[in-house]
């Protein structure tokens, strides 16, 4: 699904996004929360998928 480099970039993007939007005090915005939640779930699904794929091999 996602490569290791892409997962690291998404994780860094999410961490920076939480920090920046928290400092700007717009972390309560629905659009910001939706984007950060989608990035988080993409990372989580990729982690579970790659773990499941390695167990089958």
pLDDT value at residue 13: 94
Q: What does the alpha-carbon distance between residue 33 and residue 38 come to, in Å, rounded to a whole number?
A: 9
Q: The pTM is what?
A: 0.82
pLDDT tops 90 at residue 2: no
pLDDT value at residue 1: 76
Average pLDDT over every residue of 34-39: 95
Residue ranges making up the domain that contains 31: 4-56
pLDDT value at residue 56: 75
Residue 19 structure tokens: 């920090």
Count of residues for the chain? 57
pLDDT tops 80 at residue 15: yes
**Residue of 22 and 52 predicted with greater confidence:** 22
Instruction: Count the domains in the chain.
Output: 1
């Amino acid at each position: 699904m996602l490569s290791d480099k892409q997962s690291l970039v998404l994780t860094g993007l999410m961490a920076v996004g939480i920090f920046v939007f928290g400092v700007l005090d717009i972390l309560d915005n629905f659009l910001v929360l939706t984007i950060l939640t989608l990035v988080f779930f993409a990372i989580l699904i990729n982690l579970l998928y790659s773990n499941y794929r390695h167990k089958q091999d």
